[in-house]
Amino acid sequence: MVALALDNVGAAYGKAKVLSDVTLSDLKGGSVTAIIGPNAAGKSTLFKRIAGLIKGPGLVELSGTERGSRSICYMPQDTGANAVLTVYESVLLSAKQGSGWRVADDELAEIDAILKALHIQDLGFRGLGELSGGQRQLVSLAQALIRRPEILLMDEPTSALDLHRQIEVLSFITDLAKRDGMIVLIALHDLNHALRYCENTIVIAQGKMAASGATPEVITTGMLRDIYKIDARVETCSRGSPMVIVDGAI
């Protein structure tokens, strides 16, 4: 089974140190973990560091992967769309990254299946430049999934989606993680999504790991006050799920 551990991981941009000492013992295949924290805390930087897109101190340790660091896929927050390509071409290009250019029928069938699963099959031959923000976000997700990652790092993957699609995408991803034994890390600003879909949560604040553990133990009134500077309650809804209710900024 694939596993990921971080040992004192840090990162800097030039001389500006923006992340330090992030240590995590084994995250296992099939797990879905939320990365939360205020703006500019270092969440995306942590993803880039795990994906090997930037270097820094500490170790990112992978085990049980079939393709080593190539098994990691990072879905960035803003998906600069190449307007020249169609949706279908962009997903095919992603599938072909690092492999030859011969396209087999089963690869095309797989693209069709992913576009269908995300309900964007009708967009296949539209140009990326003609899409709405939410449609582009779904295409980015298709580009990530076609690479069959063993470790999927998703940076606010539902920020441009309507409520129906947010829930659809998060359910789909959590089911996929369990089915395929994939490790999923999701940076989220919506803490109710973390409570609903992620068994574990890591809090990043001012470039450090401020807390980690089972989501209901991490998302507490005290953490929301200390880290997010808000007055908030975590209450159990009528269906028995914990929910964050925000009363105001401190």
Ligand X SMILES: Nc1ncnc2c1ncn2[C@@H]1O[C@H](COP(=O)(O)OP(=O)(O)OP(=O)(O)O)[C@@H](O)[C@H]1O
Chain contacts with ligand X (rule: CB under 6 A) = 13, 16, 18, 37, 39-45, 77
Nearer to ligand X, 39 or 238 (CB): 39
Within a 10 A sphere around the Cβ of 226, how many other Cβ atoms? 14
Considering the complex, state which of residue 18 and residue 198 has its C-beta at the smaller distance from ligand X.
18
Query: Toward ligand X, which CB reaches closer, 86 or 159?
Result: 159
Give min distance, CB of 181 to ligand X, in A: 27
Say if residues 57 and 9 touch (Cβ distance below 8 Å). yes
Residues near 38 by beta carbon (within 8 Å), at least 6 away in sequence: 205, 227, 228
Q: Which is nearer to ligand X, 3 or 18 (CB)?
A: 18
Q: Which is nearer to ligand X, 24 or 146 (by Cβ)?
A: 24
Taking the CB of residue 90, how many other CB atoms lie within 10 A of it? 22
* Residue closer to ligand X (CB basis): 50 or 195: 50
Residue 69 Cβ vs ligand X, minimum distance, rounded to whole Å: 20
**Neighbouring-strand partners of residue 17:** 12
Nearer to ligand X, 43 or 165 (CB): 43
CB of 137 to ligand X, least distance (A): 14
Distance of closest approach, residue 203 Cβ to ligand X, in angstroms: 11
Please, what is the minimum distance in Å from the beta carbon of residue 19 to ligand X? Answer: 7
Sequence-ordered list of residues with C-beta below 8 angstroms from that of 236, at least 6 positions apart, any chain:
242, 243
